[in-house]
Amino acid sequence: MKLIRTAVKSVATAVALVGMASVAEAQGTAPSANRGKILFLHCVACHDLKPGTAPPPPAPGASAPPLKIGPHLGDIIGRKAGIVPAPALSSQLKASNIVWTEDVLDKWIEKPGSVVPGTTMAFGGVPKPEDRQSIILYLKRETASGGGAN
Ligand code: HEC
C-alpha cells in the first residue's frame, strides 16, 4: 500500500513538473533551439550560419557584395577561434587560442570582451542565461555540417 502511495505521489510530482515545464515554455523561458532561432536575430546582421551562404561573387566589373563583418559560424562548436576570414577579424581573437565549447560560447555571448579583451565584436551581450542557452542550442542544431535545415 505504501508502495502504491509513493508511486502515486511520484506520478503526481512528474505531472506537476511537466506542467511547470510547459508553462515555462509558453512563457518563453525554457531554453530551446526554436527560441534560439528568434534570438539569433541579434547575430544575423554580422554572421552567417555556414560558409557559402554569403552572396555569390559579382559579375566581372560589378562591385563586390558586402561581406558580413563577422566570421561565418559553420561547425562553431569545437572550432578554433579566429581561423575563418572576416572583414572585422581582430589579431586578439586570432591570438586567443580559444576553442569554442558551449561554456566559452556562453561567456562570449554574455560579454565578448570578458573572453577576448579588445575584440572587434561590438555586441552588448545577451544578459539572460536561458536566452544564451537557446542561442547555443540553435547554433548546435544549425551549424553542424551535415545537420540542420540551412
Ligand atoms: C555588430 C556585429 C556583430 C554582432 C551583432 C554579433 N557578432 Fe559575433 N562577431 C563579430 C565580429 C566582428 C567578430 C570577430 C571578433 C574578433 O575578431 O575579435 C565576431 C566573432 C564571433 C565569434 C567567434 C568566431 C570565430 O571564428 O572565432 C562567435 C562564435 C560569434 N561572434 C558569435 C556571435 C553570436 C552568437 C552573436 C549573437 C548573439 C553575435 N556573434 C553577434 C560581429 C558581431
* Ligand 1 lined by 45 (C-beta under 6 Å): yes
- Mutation pick for ligand 1 pocket among 111, 121, 137 (CB with most ligand atoms within 8 Å): 121
- The cell for 30 is 525554457
Interval between CA 24 and ligand 1 midpoint (Å): 29
* pLDDT tens, position by position, 91-110: 999 999 999 999 999 999 99
Percent of all residues in the chain with a pLDDT value above 90, rounded to a whole number: 64
Residues 117 and 122: their CA atoms lie apart, in Å, by 12
Domain residue ranges of the chain, discontinuous segments joined by +: 1-29, 31-143
Is the domain spanning 31-143 CATH 1.10.760.10? The answer is yes
**Whole-Å CA distances, 64 to 56, 58, 61, 84:** 9, 6, 9, 19
Taking only the tens place, the pLDDT of each residue in 6-38 is 555 655 555 554 545 555 554 557 999 999 999
Ligand 1 contacts CB of residue 104 (under 6 A): no
